[in-house]
Homo-oligomer: A and B are copies of this chain.
Amino acid sequence: MAVAQQVFLRDAMRRLNLTREIFAARIGVKRRALDTWLLPEGSQEFRTMPEVVQRFVTEIVENQHLMEKYAQVVQTGPLRDRIAVEGKHQLLSVEQFTRESVEELFRVADQMQPIARRQKVSRVLEGAVLGNLFFEASTRTRVSFGAAFSRLGGSVCDTTGFTFSSMAKGESIYDTSRVMSGYVDVMVIRHPEQGSVAEFAKATNIPVVNGGDGAGEHPSQALLDLYTILTEFSRLGKLLDGAHIAITGDLKYGRTVHSLVKLLALYKGLKFTLIAPPGLEMPQDVIDQVAKQGNHVIEQYSELADGLKGADVIYATRVQKERFADEQMEGYTADFQINKAVVERYCAEDVIVMHPLPRDSREGAHDLSVDLNPDPRLAIFRQADNGIPVRMAIFAVLLGVENLVQHSMRDVTWSPPSHIGPEDAVFHGMY
């Protein structure tokens, strides 16, 4: 078949919005059989699904497609045109997405997984150059974008540090952006000032990706967070519609959670419990935006105990101490720390614990505890890993090569470890 079996089935379940359990029932096969078809092609227990199943699923999906929600939507042209900003192929904000377009992006990310997991290599963007412009230090994000672009075959030009030499000489963002556009094919920009990435984007027609602009947005982080939730839920047989998402920590200054709740709000009937120390609550305008769509329930708490009960996802964030004065910190004590005891006490076996990272592991930081490291519910490293396929998908979509990726793959020459983290073994082949 043209696409990998795993991608085909995941996409079907996503389009039909069914759990594995219900999807297996819908097509009349055992859940166990479905699980083996959903494994990566290289893994030992992988099985090829019978052709009749493939045809059946295709028909169901097509009927669903014709008759239901896609019936009235005319899908016109490539994804990058549907998420475009004033006709330009840019990723500046999560507000560019609908539920349909974000899931279409994730279908591309699914296709990237064999590359991200080092089973396959692609050179589809060979000859293209990424300008990875970091006006603010963020090594992890810079390397994640750079590695994602490299894995598609492109070359990367990095600039790092707080000053860009020519901007220090009074050069405008307009000039900088336009000149760099003559050198590279796509720009990722990280900048300490909100709105500056949009200013860069105005001065060019080449694709621009917002890599974080101060208190503004960090859309690729929110996208990989949502992708992680959907992927983990798929493994756990859960649906996002109707799920309970608990978000804790600094909800006032954490741009990541603002973007994430806006993306989550594209789904239906979610329960958000927002748990923040006094003074660090989620801004009212973000709450209002979420509240006006999708029948969501939003509850705010100042104690973990009240907000964590029954959560499907705990999304913890770091308190960015540098952002506010000490007196505001008073409410942020050890009682606020997510650790093994807290998770055991309030949450179910199938909760997942997320964090945008970095987490502060120093004594007294009260950030997400390391005592959860060996616990498979801790999803933070799978979440970080997902930065690669999601960012690859962003590049492929913005540059219009998403349909070329599948056929560009060949086997890796080297021998990667079967799992990259010493404590990942339990998940090997499971997702």
Contact = CB atoms under 8 A, between A and B. Distances in A.
A135 to B, nearest CB: 10
Contacts of A359: 170-171, 175
Contacts of A203: 421-422
Copy count, this protein chain: 3
Contacts of A124: 413
Contacts of A146: 157
B416 A358 contact: no
A197 interface: no
A419 B118 CA distance: 36
Contact of A421 (B204, B362, B385, B401): B204
B384 A182 contact: yes
B202 A422 contact: yes
A179 B401 contact: no
A185 interface: yes
A66 interface: no
Interface of A: 89, 115, 118, 121-129, 131, 137-140, 143-144, 146-147, 150-151, 153, 155-159, 164-167, 169-172, 174-176, 178-185, 202-206, 318, 357-362, 365, 367, 370, 373, 381, 384-385, 387-388, 399-401, 404, 412-422, 424
A417 B399 CA distance: 9
Q: Which has the most chain B C-beta neighbours within 10 Å: A174, A318, A365?
A: A174
A386 to B, nearest CB: 8
Contacts of A170: 358-362, 365, 367
Given A178-B421, A359-B175, A360-B170, A416 B185 contact: yes
A127 B412 contact: yes
A157 B412 CA distance: 19
Grouping DSSP codes into helix (H, G, I), strand (E, B) and loop, the A interface class, with mixed when no group exceeds half, is: loop
Nearest to A205: B417
A420 B126 contact: no
Contact of A159 (B143, B202, B400, B419): B143
Contacts of A417: 89, 205-206
A131 B362 CA distance: 25
A123 B367 CA distance: 44
Nearest to A126: B121
A362 B422 CA distance: 48
A420 B118 CA distance: 34
A419 B139 CA distance: 32
7 contacts: A89-B417, A118-B185, A139-B165, A140-B179, A171-B359, A178-B421, A205-B417
B404 A206 contact: no
Contacts of A143: 131, 157, 159, 180, 183-184
Nearest to A360: B170
A183 B151 CA distance: 10
